[in-house]
Amino acid sequence: MDWWSIKISGQTVARVSKEIEGREDILATRIFRRTMTFVSNKLWPILDTIVKHHQDPTVKRQILSDIELKILETIGTEGSIRTDRLRKKLKLEAKENNSKYHRSLSNLESYALIVGVEDPHPEKHLHANIWQTWDKRTRNGMSRGNLSYSEGLAKLLEKTLDACVLAREDEIRKWFQWSADVQAVKEDLLENETILRADGHLISSRIRSINN
């Protein structure tokens, strides 16, 4: 099946996706399996705690390459900058930098350290994102939470499983870039029966509520 040929209310997935991406209360990230993931502002306070952890200078140096650090710094300095202009500013326009540059952007997105939205008014034949840092993009859309890093991880795992309802447990480690940190909170959630386990799967506790 060609995913992009599917229509929703008569509109292509690409068109609907673009409309969602442009909303103020939803942002596009790659936090889930490094694929396009739309995150409602209801979840921003949870994700904010996790982003703040990875913004710590010591943690950043452990998880990001030199070019990723430079990209993040430049986007932060510029406030908002389009993909092609960012690349020019970093002097990465040479063809041999294509893969490295786009891989770096994708990696920063997977930690939600940067957020992009397609330029609604590009030059002819040009499709490019406008990039902002997480803090810049979310500053007017949420109240900052007081969760610890582990509490944020637990809440995000719980909410993600609520959306999935059922997931193979051995797949959980592929969900997030910070999956190694998720393992401990997963066991806590199971112990508290916030999520359930059955036959190698994790199940949202919403199922129990429905059955009752």
Collapsed DSSP state (helix, strand, coil) of residue 86: helix
Same domain, 167 and 120: no
Split into its structural domains, the chain has a count of 2
Same domain, 23 and 51: yes
In a domain, 10, yes or no: no
pLDDT at position 22: 75
Band the pLDDT of 182: cuts 50, 70, 90: very high
Tell me which residue of 108, 110, 188, 107 sits closest to 148, measured CA to CA: 188
Cβ(112)–Cβ(10) below 8 Å = no
Name all contacts of 19-27 with Cβ < 8 Å and 24+ positions apart. 21/117, 21/118, 22/117, 22/118, 22/120, 24/141, 25/141, 27/115, 27/117, 27/137, 27/138
Same domain, 37 and 117: yes
Same domain, 58 and 87: yes
Tell me the DSSP string of 154-176. HHHHHHHHHHHSEEEGGGGGGT-
In a domain, 11, yes or no: no
**Beta strand ranges found along 54-102 (DSSP E):** 81-82
Q: Per-residue pLDDT averaged across 56-61, rounded?
A: 96
Among 138, 157, 172, the domain boundary falls at: 138
Among 117, 138, 159, the domain boundary falls at: 138
Same domain, 44 and 107: yes
In a domain, 1, yes or no: no
Residues constituting the chain: 212
> Is the Cα torsion angle 68, 118, 35, 40 positive or negative in sign?
positive
Output the pTM of the full model.
Answer: 0.88
pLDDT at position 1: 47
> Taking the CB of residue 128, how many other CB atoms lie within 10 A of it?
16
Range of the domain at 177: 149-211
Same domain, 76 and 20: yes
Q: Per-residue pLDDT averaged across 111-122, rounded?
A: 89
Same domain, 120 and 168: no
Same domain, 180 and 204: yes
CATH number at residue 93: 1.10.10.10
In a domain, 143, yes or no: no
Same domain, 98 and 79: yes
In the chain, pLDDT over 90 holds for what percent of residues?
71
As a whole number of Å, the CA-based R_g of the chain is 19
Tell me the pLDDT tens digit for each residue of 30-40.
999 999 899 99
Same domain, 42 and 68: yes
Among 138, 166, 182, the domain boundary falls at: 138
Q: Per-residue pLDDT averaged across 95-123, rounded?
A: 92
Q: Per-residue pLDDT averaged across 54-79, rounded?
A: 97
Same domain, 24 and 129: yes
Same domain, 87 and 28: yes
